[in-house]
Amino acid sequence: MTKPVLVVGSVALDDIETLSSSRNDVVGGSAVYFSFAGSFFSNIRIVGVAGYDFPAETIEQMKTHNIDTEGLQLEKGKTFKWGGKYHEDMNGRDTLYTHLNVFENFSPQIPKNFKKTPYLFLGNIQPGLQLDVLKQIETPDFIALDTMNLWINEQKEELLEVIKQIDLLTINQTELADLTGIDNLMKGISYLHQELDLEYIIIKMGEYGAYLSYSSDPQTPEHALFFSPTFPVPFTVDPTGAGDCFAGGFMGYLAKTEELSFKNMKKALVYGNIMGSFGVQDFSVDKLLAINNKEIENRYTTLRQMVKI
């Protein structure tokens, strides 16, 4: 009964510095984190571009994890490279450099076999490319989208064009303020429901958790709200990709259970938080490669217990 999920996003080799350690050329990118996290729940179809330096080992690991790599374009040149340094508290970070490399001319090509994928996640790439994907795919049952300040500020028109066609937007607090011009969380959420006609909104609160807001009728200011904290881990090694692990867990669970209700999305949000909590416990997708379903279920039970009044 599990349905597949298609993700389009970045594929990267990251150089990462934290206070306690640093690593170069670790496999990353939104589509990669998403795929490994989502693969615990459903079959993931990855669409992205990597250079010839991308490790074949990772592609093998994807196949082992039931991730369909037919849409992963391998091109002559170097993989997209991001260099980042985290602040002491692991929340803030500075981008040291960004080398687009083969990502510069990326044009998503959806393989024929992928065109009917019922669950679609448009990872954080240029809104124009997200639109290209929508043109190539037959209307999915559910479309979620992630974005960032860069596109909100520089390509707002295209972004609003994509948002018109989606069911769920994931966004963080500062992006919400940039997109709506409203500083207050609740007012910003109402604005998105009413002005952009969005049915579902996820506000990612980083290490604190996430809100899910649902509006059955965007014409009214009424919307139902759910909050889940993150699963607290004893040590954060590297926060890179936590939001993408979150999205992978969320979409994977939805596709696995095939129930697009607010009630089921609450559960999906909790699974999202749990996959994010695993993601930060090691560099790259290393922790995701080391866990099993039982560990995921254990955290789900614990987190459920943790919020039960």
> 45, 65, 267, 287: which one contacts a second copy (CB under 8 A)?
267
Nearest CB to a second copy, comparing residues 186 and 289: 186
Q: Give the nearest distance from C-beta 210 to a second copy in angstroms.
A: 10
Which of 99, 141, 160, 226 binds a second copy (CB under 8 A)? It is 226
Q: How far is the CB of 230 from a second copy (least distance, A)?
A: 9
Does 309 bind a second copy (CB under 8 A)? Our answer is yes
Residue tagged 């669409």 (tokens): 47
Among 183, 195, 222, 297, binds a second copy (CB under 8 A): 183
Residue 23 bridge partners (DSSP): 16
* Shortest separation between residue 228's beta carbon and a second copy, angstroms: 7
Alpha carbon distance 24, 15 (integer Å): 4
Burial classification of residue 6, based on how many CB atoms lie within 10 Å of its CB (0-12 exposed, 13-18 middle, 19 or more buried): buried
Residue with tokens 């206070």: 19
Inter-residue contact 66 to 248 (CB < 8 Å): no
Q: Which two tokens stand for residue 175?
A: 């992006």
Segment near a second copy (CB under 8 A), from 97-105, 119-127, 135-143, 223-231?
A: 223-231
Choose between 96 and 225: whose C-beta lies nearer to a second copy. Answer: 225
Q: 218: which 2 tokens? A: 């965007």
Asked if residues 9 and 44 have their Cβ atoms less than 8 Å apart, the reply is no
Site string for a second copy, 184-213 (x = CB under 8 A): xxxx-----------------x--xx-x--
For residue 148 the two structure tokens come to: 């960032």
Interface of this chain with a second copy, residues 57 to 116, rule: CB under 8 A: 88-89
